[in-house]
Structure 1
């Protein structure tokens, strides 16, 4: 006869301690990783001073209504490594422009923002042209495009739109 001297496995206090330490170690490691990734990406800052921005809101809204009353329509084209912009009045006739600035803003990561100054690309002997362009290929993805077109008004014509760029082409 043989006697079975093998002991059955027991869950001891050391096992419990190891399990608890491993669990909280994983939780802390994940939290530190996420906090590091968050601090290295978007700052979350929208405006420097929210009080000042709130004081300017009514004036900006008035400018927006006045601009909308003009009935002008902007045309943005992104293709073949070139960004083009033109402006047409309510009757479809081109609006002469003196200069155009474009800002491609990434919705979540301001380090990706790209500012362009477009140059006149056609016509105009008096310094006024109908279309402005610049060589640029934005990266693929979603962008907020802010366009300030100098059309000889008191303030630039502001055109803001959210666009999708795929393979260097505006979708």
Structure 2
């Protein structure tokens, strides 16, 4: 029987196979690294040290907010055009509607801060504040509400909502 002549495995062939293998591995790693960096949403805070220094102020603000015993009820409703309407009803500790506050709202994406959407809230009735955001993608959002009075933050809440 005649057998086909086999080509010998030389050092040059082994070297080229190694170069090709590691070239492929390095190429895939570089591509994955570039994709990961391009899609990185960033950090939650720029400086953990600065955030830790402000933490004591946040604790005091939360205690003051709890002492006020405000009742702020928020509702969010999906619109047919892809937007969302946020409505707040604010009452004091005695259940009376509160007027004259400045509410700010934000729909924050838990996984990508670049997708956050501001919600401009204005008073539409006694103690009722309403605002809307357009082009709200479906999924999980954090509804962050802040109320200011006389230039000082008086209320803050963060609630996870799911919009379909």
TM-score by length of 2: 0.76
Alignment match, 2:158: 160
Alignment match, 1:84: 86
Alignment match, 1:30: 28
- Give the CA RMSD over aligned residues: 2.9
Give structure 2 stretches of 5+ with no counterpart.
Answer: none
Deviation at 1:57, TM superposition (A): 0.4
Deviation at 1:61, TM superposition (A): 1.2
Alignment match, 1:169: none
Deviation at 1:160, TM superposition (A): 1.0
When residues 23 and 135 of structure 1 are mapped into structure 2, their CA distance, relative to the original with a 3 A threshold, is same
Give structure 1 stretches of 5+ with no counterpart.
Answer: 167-171
CA contact (8 A) 2:119 2:131 kept: no
Alignment of structure 1 residues 1-171 onto 2, 5 Å: 4=2, 6-8=4-6, 10-69=8-67, 70=69, 72-80=71-79, 81-89=83-91, 94-96=97-99, 98-121=101-124, 123-124=125-126, 129-150=127-148, 154-166=152-164
Quick one: distance in 2 between partners of 1:132 and 1:154?
21
3-state SS of 2:153 partner: coil
When residues 142 and 66 of structure 1 are mapped into structure 2, their CA distance, relative to the original with a 3 A threshold, is same
3-state SS of 1:6 partner: coil
CA contact (8 A) 1:146 1:159 kept: yes
Structure with the bigger percentage of strand: 2
Number of residue-to-residue matches in the alignment: 159
Q: Per-residue CA shift, 1:58-102, capped at 9, x if unaligned?
A: 110121133234152431313223322313446765443523211
Quick one: distance in 1 between partners of 2:48 and 2:28?
33
When residues 135 and 114 of structure 1 are mapped into structure 2, their CA distance, relative to the original with a 3 A threshold, is closer
